[in-house]
Structures are given as C-alpha cells and as structure tokens.
Structure 1
Amino acid sequence: MGSTSRQLHVFFLPFMAPGHMIPMLDIAKLFTTRGVKATIITTPLNVPIVAKTIERTKTCGNSVVKIDIQTIEFPAVEACLPEGCETTDSKTTHDEKMATFASSHKMLRQPLEQLLQNHDHPHCIVADMVFPWTIDAAAKFGIPVLVFNVTSVFSASAVVSIGQYKPQMEVSSDSEPFVIPNFPGEIMLTRMKLPNFTGNKYVKAFFSDLMKEVVESEVRSYGVILNSFYELEPAYANHYTRVCARKAWYIGPVSLCNKDAKDKGQRGKESSIDKHECMNWLNTKHINSVVYICFGSLSNFRDSQLMEIAMGLEASGQQFIWVVRKDKNEKEDEDWLPMGFEKRMEGKGLIIRGWAPQALILDHEAVGGFVTHCGWNSRLEGVSAGLPMVTWPLFAEQFFNEKLVIEVLKIGVPVGAQQCVEFSGNDNPIKKEAIEKAVRHIMEGEEAKEMRSRAKELGEMARRAIEEGGSSYSQLNALIEELKALHS
C-alpha cells in the first residue's frame, strides 16, 4: 500500500535575504536526502541564486535528489520600492526602505495562493518566520505550515518571555538593565539592545508588530524548525518546548549538509574572490594564526568605523581576512582605510570586498578566531568550526545571540557594542583600542586557548548531532515520519 502513496512533497518559502535563503536551501537539501520532494518558492530575480546553490544536489549518494523551483511575482514598484528590488541586497540598507521591503512581503500572499490553486498541493509548507500570513493562506487548502525560525532557541525563547512579561517597561531608562523573567539563567539586557530599539517611529512599529506576529504564528503553526542542535542550548530548548509550549524540531547546524569544498563554496552568491586564491593564502599561514572578520550581508559601517577597524587590526598584530561590503571598492578613493594600510598589510592581511566563501574560510585550520555581528548563521558556522569569537552585535536579535556566546557558552568576548544601530551605520564608532584588545583576547594567551578548547568541543558536538543517530539527524527523521503519518 505504501508503494502507491504519493511521495512526500514540501514547499519551502524563504525570505529574500541571504541570511534567510541560504539556511532554508540547506534544509531543503536535508529533506531530499530523506526521500522528500522539495520545491523552492522564490521570486524571478532570485532564481539564479537558488539554482546555483542547489545545482550540486542533483545527485546525492546513490539516489537522485530532486529540488524544483517555482516562481511568484514580487510587486516591488507597487510596494514603493525600486523596480527589481527583490532581495535585501538591492540597496535596501536605509532603515525605512528595509522596513518597507520586509513589510511588503504580505503582497506575496496572493501570488502564493494562486500557485497553490494551480498546482498539486504540497503535503506541507516550510515558511520563513517573517511570512506569518502563510498559515492562513495554506489553511485555505488544508496544508500544514512549519515555521522556520532563523535564530537561536535562546533568542526565540527570549522574545517570548520579553513579549509576555515586558520587563523593559519596568526600568526608568534605555540603559538601565533588566533581567529576562521566567528564563533560564540570570540574563540581563537593556532596552537599547532590543530588536525594536530605534528613534524611527515607523521602523520601531514595524519591528514591534513583526515580533508579535512571529510569536503568534509559531503558536498557530504545525510547529517550528530551528537551525540549532539540542546539545548547544539544552536549557533553552527545554524551556522553548515546555514553558513557551512550542512544538519544535532542532535540526542543525544545517550548513554541515555541505560536505565538500565545492558545496561550501557555492552557498549564497558568487564569491568576490577566487576561492583557490583565498585558500592558497590561508595555506601559507600557521594553525590558528588568522582572525576572520565579517559582519554579514546587511551591515553597512560608515567610513569612520571602518577606519577604526583597520587601525585596531593593525595594532593587534594579528594576521586577518576582513570582509567589507562590495560598494567599498578599490576604484574609489578609499578614505575608510589608513594611508598605506594595504601596502603595510601585504601578506599579513587580506581584504575581500563583497561576498566571501565564509564556510570554507572558517573551516580552514589557519583560522583561529572570528569577529562576528552575531547573526545566527555566522555564529553557528563559527561554533561548527570550533572558533572563539569577538561579538559585535548590530541589530535584530543579535544582542540575544551575544549573550548566548559570552555568558552561556563562554566562547567569546564582547567588543563593547551597547545598542542596536541603524542599517545605514552608527555615528558613534567602536574605537580601535577596544577592537585591538578584543582581537588579542581571542587569539593570544591562556584564556584564548581555553575558549578555543570549549569551542572545539562544541564543534565536535555539532558534527555528531547531524550524523546518523545524532540528535538533529533523529529529530529530522521524526519530523518527516510525522508528516508522512498525517497523509497516510
């Protein structure tokens, strides 16, 4: 009887930002390794990125892996955005424009419903957390929805507790600390470190509403998928399921589904540097001698901050790979670099302007530390690589992730960021002295060795979690069997 049943088919609907699309594509790959048919739903201009990323999934082991792509139109102009603005890379770094782009996702609902109307219905939809409307759209066709929460279990749980108890309303100033109530550990935050902290009322209202909608959608959905693994944050995983009452599956680190160098190098956009050139450069360095600095795809530091980073790196005496946004290109007058910086750093430092093959770099034995904005994908990739970190949170849930790294896992040091900043940058840069001190802290001395040892242990746990019999491997199997049972 089972042989005549239709193959389990799942739609995957990622938000159009690299930090959301890349892990969603990895999750789709993982589903296909369990015999599930996967279809990625995206907009036309994102198809090349998706197609390139899944190209090598056509064969996996002895079985043929099939990932389809279906497109739905994104009405950018109707949403008061530039024509062709279909990703967060499309010059959306201004806060209001970013909020407009993110809020306009609701305009995808009608095209998605039309797609569902005209095609065989999938058995399930895995929808990004910023698409809470997917639940009602899918309900019209009797399709269950799994929410993909793109952050840590720690952060997801913290958002629930703060939303429920509102401790930020009990303090008298933005800088006065409060304890997150009914939450494992005595975790202290300030209003300045919350995702919706901004002086822009429109942006503040957008993020406040979005956080509320995300929490509500998690409750109304069939369940939540998280890119984490139980052993990394067990107290918070237990809290999320028992206290927050979420039905959840921890199936990460999903980036580890990419086994070889070509798989790792093909994640996301085309690298701005030849991968072989980058690897050859690292091959000339000693083990744990290079620090990698990258702040994700959305950060946009002003020239004054980039200058401080450059001076701090030079003063630290460490070898480095530093990734900066592509609009900081070599043809401009590079006022953001000290005079003669690149000449002095020749052979010691490598600047990548644009997109870097991050997973490849982090996994290289020469890399011994990671300066990160605490975006969850990067942070989890750093854990998987067994690296101590300098934490430099900027916005969204990144200050929550910093708390996990520093206070719970104890594998990093803070650079000293005190408040969420705008996507367009901050007028009060972190100074070179703080950057130098933090970089030295994770690269030199006994404490650095201890942090690296703890990070290596977590990296080994991460790899065991996704192997056959591991916690994430088993949870994904259990989820797929449950979905099959719904339709048997």
Structure 2
Amino acid sequence: MFDQASAEEKPGEMAAAATAELHFLLVPLVAQGHIIPMVDLARLLAARGARVTVVTTPVNAARNRAVVEGARREGLAVELAEIAFPGPEFGVPEGLENMDQLVDVDRDMYLSLQRAIWAMAAPLEAYVRALPRRPDCLVADYCNPWTAPVCDRLGIVRIVMPCPSAYFLLATHSLTKHGVYGRVAGELEPYEVPDFPVRAVVNTATFRRFLQWPGLEEEERDATEAEHTADGFVINTFRDIEGVFIDGYAAALGRRTWAVGPTCAARLDADARARRGNRADVDAGRIVSWLDARPPASVLYVSFGSIAHLPAKQVIELARGLEASGWPFVWAIKEAKSAAVSEWLDGEGYEERVKERGLLVRGWAPQVTILSHPAAGGFVTHCGWNATLEAISHGVPALTWPNFSDQFSSEQLLVDVLGVGVRSGVRVPSSFLPAEAEGVQVTSADVVKAVTVLMDGGEDGTARRARAKELAGKARAAVEEGGSSHADLTDMIQYVSELSMKKRRERDAGSTAQKLPSPAVLGDKSTDKIEADAALSVQS
C-alpha cells in the first residue's frame, strides 16, 4: 500500500518527484526490434521531464547512438550507458552482441548467446551500485528476466516492457494457464485459445512464447516468475486496437498495466524519422524523391525486419511476383547480401528490368520515412510488432507475411480483428516445411493475387483503406495530450514516483536498522525498546 496521507499532504512534492527528480534505467533485449521501442519510450519519458538512461552493450550502443544524440539535441535528458557483454565467456564470438547477427549460425550459438545475455546481470548490478544515486525505476524487456533479482537486491521498482502485442501476451498466457501446450500431440496440431475475447485457432509452431524452446527451460521459468513479480507492465500499444486484450492481460496477472503506444506515432521531424532503427543503407532523400514522383497510395513497401530472412528460393518467387503485379514498389531486400540472392539478382538483371517502378535497397531502409509518405499504399510485412504498429500508425494496409513467434498473432490481429490486412498465404515458419519445398510457401502467382487484393480500389479495398486511415487518426490521438496512451504514461510516472519513494524509505530504514547497536552493548534494560524502535523503523 502507498502512503496516501503523505501523498495528500504534499502534492507539490509528488508532482516534482513525478518529473525532473525521476531517473529511469531502460534495459532492452539485445535485438533491434526490442531496442527501438525502448528508445522511443526513453524519448517519451524524457519529454515529461525525467532523466532516462538506456543500458546496453557496446555494439548496440554504437548502433543507436545517432538517435539518442538526436534526442539530446532536442533538449531531452536521454543517455546511453554501456556495460560489458560476456559473450566470449560462453563461446560467442567477440562483437556478436545482437540477435540479428545470428543469421546462418547453428542452434547451439543461439543458446550460447542466451546464456551470455543472462550473465549481463553482474555488470548491470555493478553499474547501478556505482551510480551516485539509486535509479527510481528499471524498465526491463520481458526477455530480460535476469534483471528481477538485481532489482530485488537493490530495492528498485521494476516495470516490465513486453515487446509483442497484448493479443499475443494474453493468448500465450491463457494457453499456458490452461495447460494446452502440454496436451497437444504435435506442434502443428490446431487448437482454439481458451478464455480469449475472440475466437483464435492457433498451433504451437505459430504461437510459441519467446523463450519456449528446447534448451531454454530454465530461462523460460525465470521469465514466468519475473512476469508474475513485476511492479507493472508498460506495453507499446493503444486501447483503440487492443483495449480488451490489455485489460484481459492486466486482470490475468493482477498487475498494473499501461498502454503507452504506439510510440512510433509520436511527432518526429524528418531527420528523427530517418534515424529511427538501424542506420539506413540508402540516403533518405533519394527515397523521398523517388516516392514524390509516384501517385498517392500507389507504392508497395516490402520489408521483413531485422531478423527474419526469407529462404533464397522464396525471395526469387517474391521478386517475380512483385514484377508481375504491375505495382510500383520499394523493397528493403537485406537477403541480397547473401551470395545466392545476390547472384540471382545480378544474373537476371532484375534491378535494371524493374528500375522504372521498382527500387531495391540492399539492406535497411528508412521505414518510417517511407510509410509516412503519401505515396505509400501497402506494406508487405513480416508482422513484427514494431512494423505492425508503424503500418497502423501511418494508415497503410498490410500484406501479412509472418515468419515466427508473435508475428502470426499480429497477422490475426491485422486481418481478423482490425480488418486492415490481407494474408500472403504463409501458414507456418519455414523450418516446418518439407525439404522439397525449398522454403517456398508463397509462389509468384500467389504474390500477384495477394498484391492485387491489397492494392486494388474495389469495394473491399476501399473499405480496408478507410479503416486503416481511421486507425491512424486514433493512433495519433492516443499519444497526444488528452489521449489514452498519454494518460497512461502520466499514470505510470505517478505510480513509479510513489512506489520508488516507498522503496527508498524501506532502503533507508533497513540501513538504519543494520546500524543500530546490539542489545548486548547497551544492556538488557534497553532490549525491548530497541527491538520496538527497529520494528517501527522497518515498517515506516
């Protein structure tokens, strides 16, 4: 319980503590799709007057320094702090510090990277202990449950930030609670999510929890325990698209939960939009000039995020389908960095053949810059939660192409619940396909068909586009003053202010109790009074 009397007696003190006096530490998973929303949250908190430190490893700090420095130039108190990454101790090569560097490595290396991530607890705790003042709150990625014992030992408020949708969080929680995962015969067996606000038929292959993998059983248990002991949850979503799922998740865990997104809908200038995410492999100005020459809502943007990589044969089918569709497109084709895809593109003369209406970026593209342009009319996406929110926030209908994990749940939300998406035809992660498929689930003909449905101006397409624009307006309204996400962030800051003050008093009381002289020193007559005083001190 909070000390309500103290809060009521000193409203000015509480208001001050809820702004400039607060210091937040943000600890994202070492994956770009998790770092991006954490940095967004850092900007939002700093805009309210808090001081925010994003704690990560040297490689990830270097990747994200430009966006943090941009925030500082805007007068926001955001900084990066580097802690050592113990990868080499676990057989992880020096410099491999991000999930997107795991392309074409074996499963054992993935497990080694997870072990190294867990070992970040020691350098994090050493960093916090060395600070002149204990931070008020640590916001930890759901996939960083190793922060829980650190916060417990140091008496710091711990808020968990899950990076998928509330839809996914509630669904997987319900499946776990009702023991469904353990009852099904195989990973492709379909079943319905119990105790769920909408009908959702799934399977384990497409609705697996983040750490639900062989070899990570202990880490999964840590994550479940840390979830149930968190001081609260902050989710990058908004009530107009996920209100029933947000409330369901909060009720299921019995914890305070705040929806503060979509963080990508916060107002950013052109430079900040271009800096968001990985450093682009093409000049944003060139992209904008290319888009300026196209009609409104006519361009298809294609990107599969930072981690998902399509098999080479599937890339070729997609390329042929995009060409045959007749629609202009911008394709962030990071797969072109692989020999098989690069050789095919060059051998076919593909770029030259489509150059009048197709722009290929061999790597990372400035995604928000593209989606926010009036020419953007559709988004072929892997349905990562960041990409999903960016599509929604900019009113761009999605052609869904999930690859793994929560991406299949995002597809269900976009297509079945919100009505702003069209399925590509992907049904399972490519690892579940038979060898003779060579990774292909969607043929070039399938691509043409899906693109036509998405981009066509028929009655369904017009309704889908209108719905997308409506949701974009609601997304912007949610994060502005008076909006639901703006209000939730205000409430979260106030909650952290009150709880951190309580924890600080408990730490101070504990220190005082430890320094009290023993009864033996003072004599037996003082024993009762000292024990009573110590008890009062601890309870105050």
Q: TM-score, normalised by structure 2?
A: 0.84
Structure 1 or 2: larger helix share?
A: 2
Q: CA deviation at 1:128?
A: 0.9
Moved more, 182-191 or 318-327: 318-327
On the 8 A contact 1:415/1:438 being kept in 2, the answer is yes
Please, which of 464, 482, 485 is the counterpart of residue 451 of structure 1?
464
Structure 1 equivalent of residue 150 of structure 2: 137
Moved more, 314-323 or 459-468: 314-323
Structure 2 equivalent of residue 414 of structure 1: 423
Structure 2 equivalent of residue 474 of structure 1: 487
Between the aligned partners of 1:333 and 1:470, the Cα distance in structure 2 is: 46
Between the aligned partners of 1:149 and 1:441, the Cα distance in structure 2 is: 33
Please, which of 293, 299, 323 is the counterpart of residue 290 of structure 1?
299
On the 8 A contact 1:258/1:264 being kept in 2, the answer is no
On the 8 A contact 1:95/1:203 being kept in 2, the answer is no
Structure 2 equivalent of residue 75 of structure 1: 86
1:42-441 paired onto structure 2 within 5 Å: 42-60=56-74, 64-94=75-105, 96=107, 97-119=109-131, 120-195=133-208, 204-206=213-215, 210-325=219-334, 328=337, 334-335=343-344, 339-422=348-431, 427-429=438-440, 430-441=442-453
Q: CA deviation at 1:248?
A: 0.8
On the 8 A contact 1:38/1:66 being kept in 2, the answer is yes
Q: TM-score, normalised by structure 1?
A: 0.93
Q: Residue 415 and residue 327 in structure 1: after superposition, are their counterparts in 2 closer, same or farther (change >3 A)? A: closer
Q: CA deviation at 1:215?
A: 3.5
Between the aligned partners of 1:423 and 1:358, the Cα distance in structure 2 is: 29
Q: Residue 206 and residue 278 in structure 1: after superposition, are their counterparts in 2 closer, same or farther (change >3 A)? A: farther
On the 8 A contact 1:150/1:226 being kept in 2, the answer is yes
Between the aligned partners of 2:346 and 2:171, the Cα distance in structure 1 is: 38
Between the aligned partners of 1:209 and 1:157, the Cα distance in structure 2 is: 22
Between the aligned partners of 1:4 and 1:475, the Cα distance in structure 2 is: 18
Please, which of 3, 7, 11 is the counterpart of residue 25 of structure 2?
11
Moved more, 324-333 or 30-39: 324-333
Between the aligned partners of 1:240 and 1:203, the Cα distance in structure 2 is: 19
- Gap regions ≥5 residues in structure 1: none
Amino acid at match of 2:125: E
Between the aligned partners of 2:81 and 2:259, the Cα distance in structure 1 is: 27
Between the aligned partners of 2:236 and 2:126, the Cα distance in structure 1 is: 30
Aligned residue for 1:232, secondary structure, equals: helix
Aligned residue for 1:264, secondary structure, equals: helix
Q: Residue 423 and residue 255 in structure 1: after superposition, are their counterparts in 2 closer, same or farther (change >3 A)? A: farther
On the 8 A contact 1:386/1:457 being kept in 2, the answer is yes
Aligned residue for 2:348, secondary structure, equals: coil
Between the aligned partners of 1:436 and 1:4, the Cα distance in structure 2 is: 57
| RMSD (Å) for aligned C-alpha atoms | 2.5
Aligned residue for 2:234, secondary structure, equals: strand
Between the aligned partners of 2:88 and 2:184, the Cα distance in structure 1 is: 42
Between the aligned partners of 2:399 and 2:280, the Cα distance in structure 1 is: 24
Q: Residue 210 and residue 331 in structure 1: after superposition, are their counterparts in 2 closer, same or farther (change >3 A)? A: closer
Aligned residue for 2:167, secondary structure, equals: helix
On the 8 A contact 1:125/1:145 being kept in 2, the answer is yes
Moved more, 37-46 or 95-104: 95-104
Between the aligned partners of 2:432 and 2:235, the Cα distance in structure 1 is: 25
Q: Residue 313 and residue 91 in structure 1: after superposition, are their counterparts in 2 closer, same or farther (change >3 A)? A: same
On the 8 A contact 1:29/1:257 being kept in 2, the answer is no
Name the count of aligned residue pairs: 481
Amino acid at match of 2:296: I
Give the share of equivalent positions with the same residue, in percent.
Answer: 33
Aligned residue for 2:120, secondary structure, equals: helix
Higher Cα Rg: structure 1 or 2? Answer: 2
